[in-house]
Structure 1
Amino acid sequence: MKLHNYFRSSASFRVRIALELKGLPYEYVPVHLVKGEHKQEGYAALSPSMLVPTLVTDAGEHLGQSMAIIEWLDETHPQQPLMPRDPLGRARVRALSQLIACEIHPLNNLRVLKYLTQELKVDEETKATWYRHWVREGLLAFERELAQLPRGKYAYGDTPTLVDCCLVPQIFNGKRFNTDYSGLDRTMAAFDACMELPAFQRAQPSHQPDNEA
């Protein structure tokens, strides 16, 4: 398999975590978002949406959207499952995952932040304030949802799931903007538990070949 991705992309980070948790080998293909490589003809032919990540399967099929990629990986490589077996558990994991991937992330991804500064002429500090506000608001909602569920070692239960694949990248990126994580006790406990695992360590941005430390 080949994963076309960018080291700092939250969505790419999610898929890297899933691949590492499942112990699946893959070829890392960097796509530099800041330099606009995702809009160049070669990559656009691979991903018409011009987004990362794109997974190229062993059969040569192209898959986009991190959540769909991870569920495909889980269905085709069921070892180290990332979804609960019961329908209610799967629905809850999807809901928690989408709270991050669909509610928090779209408001603070690179193209939104670039639009704020380049088109709306927002200064850097105002952009950072926007970022911190929406990440914290989203994570406070996430924390409230966790409070309604039985406590486990990770975000949902005692093994990593799709939720953790989404949570860890969001926390990483939020730290870059000095987001306030106070009062997010269960959220941060799940993050800390994840970061004790080698799979999460290997998937983090600083360990990728295109990292720009």
Structure 2
Amino acid sequence: MAKQLDYHTLREIFTRFQAADPEPKGELDHVNVYTLVVAVALSAQATDAGVNRATHALFQIADTPQRMLDLGEEGLIEHIKTIGLYRQKAKNVIKMSRILVEDYDGIVPNSRAALQSLPGVGRKTANVVLNMWWRQPAQAVDTHIFRVGNRAGIAPGKDVDAVERAVEDNIPADFQLHAHHWLILHGRYHCKARKPMCPTCIIRDLCQFEDKTL
């Protein structure tokens, strides 16, 4: 695990990320906040591209909690059976939809605690929704952020909670809104797990990763 980078180095790193991509976007397709919650929940242990392929037709007919309930669990399974753990995910989406209809008048709540109380919605999913839909500086730590944070020294931590705290505590406030997207995209397309693309990395000179590729 690399040591935590200092404030000035972090500011330079995120200044470069911002210059390269001023408004980074999540890659999960959605049409409203409800479909965003569903898409993020489905993306656990699956790729965004795979989820998008499965939800393209689904969200045309089931874009609200009530319409998802009308579709039913078996109908939902037919749409998402190419996604890993699809049976359990289908059960959770239906349970979540029922709770939203019965307890929230079909409206997705905008608090982390309420979101996390929904079946299939963990802290990471809640943070993604809070960040992408309500533009709160919530940090959703996935495998990409965990890897980049520890490799580079941007946000080192032994587990995802520690990395989340490191992001919140150390990354300058004016970069907090987009921080997790910059880190995810950097990890997905540049700082890859097996073959990081160090020669073309825009933060190569600031990164603490000792085993940089040539």
TM-score by length of 2: 0.28
Higher RCO (C-alpha 8 Å, min separation 6): 1
TM score, norm. by length of structure 1:
0.28
- Which structure features the higher share of strand residues? 1
